[in-house]
Structure 1
Amino acid sequence: MALRGLRGATTLDEDTPEAMRERVQELVSRMLAANGIGKEQLVSILFTATDDLHSLFPATAAREIGLGDVPLICARELDIVGGTQRCVRVLMHLEDERPRSAFHHVYLHGAVGLRDDLPA
């Protein structure tokens, strides 16, 4: 098995615990489903959030969908002028035999345009 990284991002319409739960759970679930990844393959997940998000840790939302035994950590995204607002980014580390090119990174809502170099 090789260690692989899978990226994703989403945005929130408003900074509320409910919005954070909904969007993070949607993103993480779509990342797993789109790539046929089982929870047992996960090594760890890093979440970053922009400075305008304060209502809930993204990792809390992930734990609520059964990822409590996966090491999760949250950090602040760089505050770049013109950057995407109310944005949560995800970097999943997982074990898989497939090549990096086989994975589909997932960008939802206002984060769709963050990586226009990746196929949709």
Structure 2
Amino acid sequence: MESAGIQQLLAAEREAQQIVNAARTAKMTRLKQAKEEAETEVAEHKTSTEQGFQRKLEATSGDSGANVKRLEQETDAKIEQLKNEATRISKDVVDMLLKNVTTVNN
């Protein structure tokens, strides 16, 4: 009888070991699967972030070119305005300078 009890305990121990091994294998499989899923998600997030960055970069670069063009036009217009103003008042300035230079104060 004692032998039957020992055999039963050994059988139970083998069964428990098989259950533990099966659980360990399932756990390792799930960990590998989770790692692969995480790597996929990271790659997708990285791609998405990079695409967003590129879109913003293109958008701001385009604006920058337009801003440069607009500023050049505004600068050219201001320069032309100043030239016209200088031409308009240059005769008066020359006359004033000549008057002050040629006038002798006693």
Using the size of structure 1 for normalisation, the TM-score is 0.18
Between structures 1 and 2, the one with greater helix share = 2
Higher relative contact order (CA 8 A, sep 6+): 1
TM-score, normalised to structure 2, is: 0.20
- Which has more strand, going by share of residues? 1
Larger Rg: 2
